[in-house]
Chains A and B, each alone.
Chain A
């Protein structure tokens, strides 16, 4: 500062002698201050900036626009045609032309399914292969035979065995379709003609794929309006690699009735096989509890009947309020995985029998209902003749009917659709029969559909999560984005890529694994605790604090520049007028 002072003094000495010199100096001084400010600003900007790892926005955008990878859900049908030699010679006037039949079936299937589908966000390639098949003595054994080779067969690859009906046809319908427990079916035709082969096969394939494709498409195309109207989508639990399943025995009034159940045994017997089958998609942890004094949040209505016994009932409108979640201790304190609740509810004696009415006002036979994305409830009324001790103990056998309902509800909750219902449109023209259902309460075909659906869902959801993350990061410039967030996002994108590629190669299991990894990673990044730490210190506060410095300093500097400009212009004018 001392030197500055001396400069000023000298300057003032000089100024009186040489005013022209000071003018240049003055400008130099102003300019040097501005240089300091202009150099300092980026430095200040740099030093006060928060760390933000560069996220692959472009890549995320390309996924959002579905340009990164075309989602495809291919399926392959291997049509085994019975060899001519063993069949009725009359039926075969000319040898079958395999490529023609292949094309005809594919075209027919596309025609039947692709009526409403105009959006191209997802593709469903269809491969038809025709193979010759030497008919064996017992067709029924065929399904069993293939089920042994189940390890070899993969999701999305089906076997169709076609044969002429060897015993005299009994039905008027065109063909008999028998569905196996795994990915195979046998079609026995009444007439062994090319057109019948084509039509029956195409009809069977189309029916099998129709609903599955519609669901996958509605998920994949992310059409929110459509999904909202889609009741199935609302019933199904949001995907999670792990669910907690809680069975609760609710007793409204223990003073009149003591309850107990052997739920552990019942779960192991009736539910365990199903759970192990579904475990390729999600795992389950099971626990149970008994709650006493579980009072209803709704008051049931009373139905008085003349000759028949009167009863209490709940209308469909009151059912959403059935759960008294504040008092029923249903929440879990230890885990964030979604809970699926199953409740066996025993109403008090003074409210028995309690029934559920459907929308038409008729009592529902099973006395059970499902709460979408939450769980299932069965109401069990107290038996009239209680034991002297006033105790009601459910053994393993007693629990069987309830467990059957719970399993059915669980199927709906995790998005399994009944194969019989899917195949029902075919019944008008074909006779359908099913291989006896396995003990696991889920068939391979049904599970395949769920896997495809979950893959689509996971991919779409992880894209949506990444999109929101990118948007959030862009919207809040003050947010710290650490390196591990970027890593998670990159892994998630990589998993998406791999899942998509696996789909194209028709490797659904691999696609499922990668899609699960994608959704888990993207959510981990989105819900990372470091992502919210700096939200409460916005830019406005920063400027408010710097204001007392910036304003008084900037005013003289700006004024000096403005004045200097005016001076320069004035001088130029003067000079001009002088020369004139």
Chain B
């Protein structure tokens, strides 16, 4: 094995030279693809595919940054965001639940089960129409039920979901943060499968024909513990003064595979994981690389073929990465990693990420319920977080029952924890409740946020076809800016390399809780017909007898020696 130590900055320099190549199609655009493979502590294997397309926006012209001639940037996406005046858009399809305790924080931030869509849009008179049209268009584009994100599921977070990325134009260009509004929608009960992946792949310049995207085999990709597919569009600044703006499209696929499940060993190769190898790099890409996060002990594993090693720059968090440049590869790449161990032993001690949260349903019966979110702060410092929860209108929250307390420290009053709060009450059948809070979590503590609600008796047409299953309620989302060393995942190093920027001392994280299943009182759906039938029968019986009585002739039958007695004859 040959170890070559080159610094990340060198690669950054190389790629920067490559990107300054002029294009005829009017604008400079570039495409990069990266694959990160990282063994997780519990023997699972994280694979993270990231495809970045950058296109220059000419904001100077009357076009106002609108594109009509596309090169590497997908036309479908460009048209969608132009047509709906979208400035920034994040769409994530997730299946399964990210295990924060075992896996740390994900590379891709959005990780709530189901489909999540949030967008910063120009706040003109048509914004509501645009949002509705956007959900419908994306629904068609990705073969998903996004059109069900209607008014009753759409919220406007005030504290969470700020524009992403430190070089996002929002933070640098005054024009970009004037008159924009946020819309957020989440569909927890959405199954993600091949039909969503196929249109997603078609957006890539090389589709799945070349490059690392060739590995995206739907048969294998969905046979995993966790799978998340996302598309992020954001405007970014290319310099400090933000004179050059580009539109950045990031497409990611994250999946957590389990090699231990089949063999009991952690060994893997690309063919065993995906049934394929990487045939070549994508010819239009400017960078095409595979990175494998190396375990701390050098002796415990073998990785082939030979690789270069990159080391993260930060002292306290040195992690080695094996780096493969596909552009230099001459033959198809099939990575292979074997571990020097008989069989994998599961670690007894779980990873301790800084901030984790869990959400539970409380209460009993079909009338009253409640929800509790436990937020664990395992840091030694107090930590400020943004809490976001959007609850559908059919669970009627009672704000007076909202309790924020630190478990085991009843002396700490609610005022000390809740720094800021934003609550939007629901309107029946038109908007959800939104609860947002800025919380200051004490060090090494568990903070519980609990609130009670009433379950609404829905009209019978408002129930879903599988009414007895219950209604899915989206996750609570905690966003925080934590010290960088807490974020133990490969995300930081990965981002540092791929984004060409120096690592920041602080990193932004988002923690998604579980989604909940609330069962509402469910009617017997044949009831209306039963009622009609029964009522009709009763009325008919009553009418029949009454009518008969009215038209009947009563005659006196003379019986010998007896008194007169009315008797029925017809």
User: Chain A interface (Cβ within 8 Å of chain B)?
Assistant: 1, 4, 8, 11-12, 15-16, 19, 22, 26, 29-30, 33, 246, 254-255, 258, 260-264, 285-290, 292-293, 295, 327, 329, 331-335, 393-395, 545-549, 551-553, 555-557, 560
Given known contacts A293-B206, A333-B79, A394-B24, A288 and B70 CB-to-CB distance under 8 angstroms? yes
Q: Which residues of A contact B554 (CB under 8 A)?
A: 11-12, 15-16
Are B551 and A548 within 8 A (Cβ)? Answer: no
A4 to B543: give the CA distance in the assembly, Å.
12
Name the interface residues of B131-162: CB closer than 8 Å to any CB of A.
137, 140-141
User: Is B380 close to A, CB under 8 A?
Assistant: no
With beta carbons under 8 angstroms apart, the residue of A19, A258, A555 that contacts B283 is A258
Are B25 and A552 within 8 A (Cβ)? Answer: no
User: Is B440 close to A, CB under 8 A?
Assistant: no
With beta carbons under 8 angstroms apart, the residue of A246, A547, A560 that contacts B547 is A560
Q: Which residues of A contact B529 (CB under 8 A)?
A: 545
Given known contacts A29-B551, A287-B69, A552 and B284 CB-to-CB distance under 8 angstroms? no
User: Is B125 close to A, CB under 8 A?
Assistant: no
With beta carbons under 8 angstroms apart, the residue of B206, B540, B564, B566 that contacts A548 is B540
Q: Which residues of A contact B209 (CB under 8 A)?
A: 293, 295
Given known contacts A287-B70, A553-B543, A329 and B76 CB-to-CB distance under 8 angstroms? yes
Are B537 and A548 within 8 A (Cβ)? Answer: yes
Q: Which residues of A contact B536 (CB under 8 A)?
A: 546-549, 552
A262 to B202: give the CA distance in the assembly, Å.
24
In this complex, how many residues of chain B approach chain A with their Cβ under 8 Å: the count is 49
Are B207 and A293 within 8 A (Cβ)? Answer: yes
A505 to B284: give the CA distance in the assembly, Å.
60
A553 to B546: give the CA distance in the assembly, Å.
11
A395 to B22: give the CA distance in the assembly, Å.
13
Q: Which residues of A contact B141 (CB under 8 A)?
A: 333
Name B73's closest neighbour in chain A (CB-CB).
A289
CB distance from A553 to the nearest CB of B (A): 5
Give the residue among A1, A254, A555, A560 with the most B Cβ atoms within 10 A: A254
Q: Which residues of B contact A287 (CB under 8 A)?
A: 68-70, 75, 79
Additional pairs, 6, CB under 8 Å, beyond known A264-B68, A556-B548: A246-B75, A260-B71, A261-B25, A329-B74, A334-B80, A552-B544
Q: Which residues of A contact B18 (CB under 8 A)?
A: none
Name B82's closest neighbour in chain A (CB-CB).
A334
Are B70 and A332 within 8 A (Cβ)? Answer: no
User: Is B392 close to A, CB under 8 A?
Assistant: no
CB distance from B389 to the nearest CB of A (A): 32
Q: Which residues of B contact A262 (CB under 8 A)?
A: 24-26
Q: Which residues of B contact A556 (CB under 8 A)?
A: 543-544, 547-548
Give the residue among B209, B529, B550, B556 with the most A Cβ atoms within 10 A: B550
Given known contacts A262-B25, A545-B532, A548-B532, A290 and B539 CB-to-CB distance under 8 angstroms? no
User: Is B351 close to A, CB under 8 A?
Assistant: no
Q: Which residues of B contact A8 (CB under 8 A)?
A: 549-550
A162 to B176: give the CA distance in the assembly, Å.
67
Cβ contacts B51-73/A at 8 Å (1 or 0 each): 00000000000000000111110
Are A552 and B541 within 8 A (Cβ)? Answer: yes
Are A16 and B537 within 8 A (Cβ)? Answer: no
Name A7's closest neighbour in chain B (CB-CB).
B550
Name the interface residues of B188-215: CB closer than 8 Å to any CB of A.
202, 205-207, 209-210
Are A254 and B283 within 8 A (Cβ)? Answer: yes
CB distance from A113 to the nearest CB of B (A): 45
Are A290 and B206 within 8 A (Cβ)? Answer: no
Are A260 and B533 within 8 A (Cβ)? Answer: no
A33 to B284: give the CA distance in the assembly, Å.
86
CB distance from B181 to the nearest CB of A (A): 21
Q: Which residues of B contact A15 (CB under 8 A)?
A: 553-555
Are A553 and B540 within 8 A (Cβ)? Answer: yes
With beta carbons under 8 angstroms apart, the residue of B26, B280, B533, B546 that contacts A4 is B546
Name B27's closest neighbour in chain A (CB-CB).
A264
A7 to B412: give the CA distance in the assembly, Å.
80
CB distance from A269 to the nearest CB of B (A): 14
User: Is B499 close to A, CB under 8 A?
Assistant: no
A325 to B275: give the CA distance in the assembly, Å.
28
Are B540 and A549 within 8 A (Cβ)? Answer: yes
Are B553 and A26 within 8 A (Cβ)? Answer: yes
Name the interface residues of B205-236: CB closer than 8 Å to any CB of A.
205-207, 209-210
Name A557's closest neighbour in chain B (CB-CB).
B547
CB distance from A379 to the nearest CB of B (A): 20
Are B69 and A263 within 8 A (Cβ)? Answer: yes
Are B26 and A255 within 8 A (Cβ)? Answer: no
Q: Which residues of B contact A334 (CB under 8 A)?
A: 79-80, 83, 137
User: Is B2 close to A, CB under 8 A?
Assistant: no
A473 to B333: give the CA distance in the assembly, Å.
64
Q: Which residues of A contact B202 (CB under 8 A)?
A: 327, 329
Name B533's closest neighbour in chain A (CB-CB).
A548
Give the residue among B26, B539, B553, B566 with the most A Cβ atoms within 10 A: B553
Name B281's closest neighbour in chain A (CB-CB).
A255
With beta carbons under 8 angstroms apart, the residue of B83, B284, B539, B549 that contacts A254 is B284
Name the interface residues of B10-27: CB closer than 8 Å to any CB of A.
23-26
Give the residue among B74, B75, B80, B539 with the most A Cβ atoms within 10 A: B75
Q: Which residues of A contact B553 (CB under 8 A)?
A: 15, 19, 22, 26
Are B24 and A261 within 8 A (Cβ)? Answer: yes
Q: Which residues of A contact B556 (CB under 8 A)?
A: 16
Name A330's closest neighbour in chain B (CB-CB).
B75
CB distance from A404 to the nearest CB of B (A): 20
Some 24 contacts from A to B, beta carbons below 8 A apart, are A16-B554, A16-B566, A19-B553, A26-B550, A26-B551, A254-B284, A255-B283, A262-B25, A286-B68, A288-B25, A288-B70, A292-B205, A292-B207, A295-B209, A333-B141, A334-B83, A394-B24, A548-B532, A548-B540, A549-B536, A549-B539, A552-B536, A553-B539, A553-B540
Are A263 and B550 within 8 A (Cβ)? Answer: no
A437 to B76: give the CA distance in the assembly, Å.
38
Are A395 and B24 within 8 A (Cβ)? Answer: yes
Give the residue among B24, B70, B533, B539 with the most A Cβ atoms within 10 A: B24
Are A333 and B76 within 8 A (Cβ)? Answer: yes
With beta carbons under 8 angstroms apart, the residue of A16, A288, A295 that contacts B69 is A288
- 8 tightest Cβ-Cβ pairs between the two chains A and B: A552-B540, A549-B536, A548-B536, A12-B554, A293-B209, A254-B283, A289-B75, A289-B70
Q: Which residues of A contact B551 (CB under 8 A)?
A: 26, 29-30, 560
Given known contacts A292-B205, A553-B543, A264 and B83 CB-to-CB distance under 8 angstroms? no
Are B80 and A333 within 8 A (Cβ)? Answer: yes
A290 to B71: give the CA distance in the assembly, Å.
5
Are A255 and B210 within 8 A (Cβ)? Answer: yes
A546 to B537: give the CA distance in the assembly, Å.
10
Q: Which residues of B contact A246 (CB under 8 A)?
A: 75
With beta carbons under 8 angstroms apart, the residue of A263, A546, A560 that contacts B25 is A263
Q: Which residues of A contact B540 (CB under 8 A)?
A: 548-549, 551-553
Are B547 and A33 within 8 A (Cβ)? Answer: yes
Given known contacts A327-B207, A548-B540, A393 and B74 CB-to-CB distance under 8 angstroms? no
CB distance from A206 to the nearest CB of B (A): 46
Are A290 and B72 within 8 A (Cβ)? Answer: yes
A91 to B452: give the CA distance in the assembly, Å.
109
A258 to B546: give the CA distance in the assembly, Å.
92
A533 to B208: give the CA distance in the assembly, Å.
42
Name B540's closest neighbour in chain A (CB-CB).
A552
With beta carbons under 8 angstroms apart, the residue of B140, B280, B544 that contacts A333 is B140
Are A332 and B79 within 8 A (Cβ)? Answer: yes
Name B71's closest neighbour in chain A (CB-CB).
A290
Give the residue among A246, A289, A295 with the most B Cβ atoms within 10 A: A289
CB distance from A373 to the nearest CB of B (A): 21
Q: Which residues of A contact B140 (CB under 8 A)?
A: 333
Q: Which residues of B contact A293 (CB under 8 A)?
A: 206-207, 209-210
A403 to B406: give the CA distance in the assembly, Å.
71
Cβ contacts B233-271/A at 8 Å (1 or 0 each): 000000000000000000000000000000000000000
Name the interface residues of B512-570: CB closer than 8 Å to any CB of A.
529, 532-533, 536-537, 539-541, 543-544, 546-551, 553-556, 564, 566
